[in-house]
Amino acid sequence: MRNRRAKHFGVGLIYSRLSLSACVEAAKKSNAIYTFNGATGIVRWLKGEYAYLAPNGAASLLRRLAIKFNWVTDEDLKESKSLERYHTLILPHAVSLPTQAFRAIESWVHQGGYLLATGQTDLPPELLGLSEVNWYRPNGYTMIRYGESDLIAGYRGYTVGICKPASGSQVLASVYEVMNPQEEVNGQMSPLLGPGIIRTKQVVFISLPLFETFGAMLQGHVNFEDMRNWGHRYKYLDWLGRFVKEILEDSDWKHLWHVRVKPWGKSRGVVVLRHDVDESSDLTYLDYERKNQIPATYAILNDQRRQHWLKAVASHPAAEAAYHFDTAPQKTTIIELLLRKPREVTLEDILKITGGRGLWRQSKKARDALGIPILTGQRHKAFFFYPETIDGMDYLYKQEAEVLGLGTMFRFTNIMFTEEKKEKDSTYVVQHPDTSVPFWFPFKLWYASTNDHHALRGWDITHLLEPEPWLTEHLLNQEEYLEEGVYTLGFHPAHCHGKAFRQEGNWDWFEYAVELGRSRGYLFTTCKEVFERLNQWESLDFELGESEGWVENHHSPSPITVYLEHSHGKLFFKEKETYAELVNPNLTKLVLGNGDSIQFSVG
């Protein structure tokens, strides 16, 4: 048992219901609400920057950085005493906070707390190191220039702050407006809007809607295809995340990396081999993986080869059989959909496949009638309807507790706001070899309607289809981006010896990916194992003060293997009987049973 707690023990991420309410009212005034029939009734979905996706963007990056955090509510912000347990607060796009929050946050900062605020906020300018801030809604995107790096961090038309720094504040970066990323790729033609990042001793303020943009890009809420021309097209969100990490490191926020809980242990990252079996019966990949004890995930369709693949995958103990869920009738092509020929399938027919209760119905049938496991589901065909597909996914998660997550957010045709048929970017196609979400770590999508606003329970993950060796090399080279990513590489058995991509087939590409990943210290595992391990990571309670902390397993009934990275000193454990394995000088391994709580100090 513990007798006392550290005064500051964690990172708090602010999710403000008052800010959501303000976004809803602004969306109503701007006619930025999309109405459709969802799985349980009429849904009124928030569009544009009013969707309040910034908290999810920030949460996704914190997980990517292996930084444990707690959600902070409006009620928590009303008294500075309730903030004392946090050494850091992250406040993304909080446009309307409780009146009491201003004084509470100011008092907390004066007592030594670190505050990162991004995007539009009603916090007093002086708390952010400003003498004045005016909110401007640009016609274009907003770009930030930090040192020698230029990157677009604000989506087109998303509100940005025009700031005047207060005396004594430090300006770290400037912000520019970019009208056409393809033409202004070097940023030379972009007009200066003013300071973009302002720092005081304890506060960093980023005036751009960075996390709102991040959250929107994660789930197909915006069409950012023209932003890819700016650079880093295969890792754009990892690149943006690396930028945030550098800002915080340069601001001397090293406490965030003092001790971290690492989900992958000593591995450099994770490689998931995904095989969509489709109409093939070629076992070459499976035979190789079984012989070399390499885990992989096989997505199995409801077709005539279903039993063949269920039996084959069962012969490899480290392989996962997953459901390859449909997004359109079997013979539907993108051209047929876009042309909408009267004799062909209708838009309404396709929506029924994953929208409403369609995804749940087909998944339930796959498990109950066909014997296909549904612990993870992997998308088949290229169709994604925003936001109807997310509504269908949310219903699936609520009905089937065993579903851990899906592999949905990769190269797709995004048909946005289907009922309206009038948006300029209402349909866009992500071309091969791009991926729809260039973020290499599992993440959660966010349900963003006027009366229901929450993270989906299950995970989602992106992947690349049939990557050539140069692209695999680029993907697994993390030096310019973020470390310890999760990289799903898709190799269809049909293309192993088939001629769709090249005359000799893609076996050599697959073999290169396996050998490269192994030689660089990547962990090979299944999609199921990735989601399970992240659920365990999320369930851990982790508290960290200046020199001591705790890690606890109060939620998982099964033992959890915990890896603590301590790059700034050695760990000492209060309980002498604690079993700890020093994996390397900076990494300690623990195993926590249900109810176990271990206190440590950093020397």
Q: Which residues contact 503 (CB under 8 A, 6 or more apart)?
A: none
Protein fold of 261-534: TIM Barrel (3.20.20)
What are the backbone dihedrals phi and psi of residue 282, each rounded to the nearest 5 degrees, phi first? -75, 120
- Tell me what pLDDT residue 342 has: 47
**What residue ranges in 38-122 does DSSP mark as E strands?**
42-46, 69-72, 86-92, 114-118
- Tell me what pLDDT residue 270 has: 98
For residue range 48-72, list pLDDT tens digits in order.
999 999 999 999 999 999 999 999 9
Query: How does DSSP classify residue 116?
Result: E
- Tell me what pLDDT residue 139 has: 95
Three-state SS string over 544-578 comes to ECCCEEEEECCCCCCCEEEEEECCCCCEEECCCCC
Domain boundaries, the chain: 10-125+201-257, 261-534, 547-602
> Does domain 10-125+201-257 fall into CATH 3.40.50?
yes
207, containing H or E segment: none
- Tell me what pLDDT residue 189 has: 63
Question: What average pLDDT is seen over the chain?
Answer: 92
- Tell me what pLDDT residue 6 has: 45
- Tell me what pLDDT residue 568 has: 82
Segments in 494-526 forming alpha helices (H): 507-519
- Judge whether residue 466 has pLDDT over 50: yes
Mean pLDDT of the 486-504 span: 96
CA distances to 274, 347, 444 from 67, rounded to whole Å, are 28, 42, 16
- Judge whether residue 7 has pLDDT over 50: no
Mean pLDDT of the 238-257 span: 94
* Rg of the chain taking only CA atoms, in angstroms: 24
Identical fold for domains 10-125+201-257 and 261-534, yes or no, is: no
For residue range 328-352, list pLDDT tens digits in order.
886 655 555 555 554 566 778 888 8
- Judge whether residue 188 has pLDDT over 90: no
- Tell me what pLDDT residue 603 has: 79
SS3 category, 184: coil
- Tell me what pLDDT residue 351 has: 86
**What separation, in Å, do the N-terminal and C-terminal C-alpha atoms of the chain show?**
22
Q: Using 50, 70 and 90 to split pLDDT, how confident is the model at 190?
A: confident
d(CA 49, CA 216): 8
176, containing H or E segment: strand 170-178
**What residue ranges in 433-509 does DSSP mark as E strands?**
446-448, 453-455, 459-460, 464-465, 486-490
d(CA 558, CA 104): 39
- Judge whether residue 501 has pLDDT over 90: yes
d(CA 483, CA 423): 38
Q: Going by DSSP bridges, is the β-strand pair 446-448/192-199 parallel, antiparallel, or unpaired? A: unpaired
- Tell me what pLDDT residue 97 has: 96
Long-range own/partner contacts, residues 534-538 (CB < 8 A, 24 or more apart)? 534/63, 534/263, 534/442, 534/459, 535/404, 536/560, 537/63, 537/261, 537/263
- Dihedral of CA atoms 151, 46, 75, 395 in degrees, nearest 10, equals -110
Mean pLDDT of the 216-225 span: 96
Q: Going by DSSP bridges, is the β-strand pair 33-37/160-165 parallel, antiparallel, or unpaired? A: unpaired
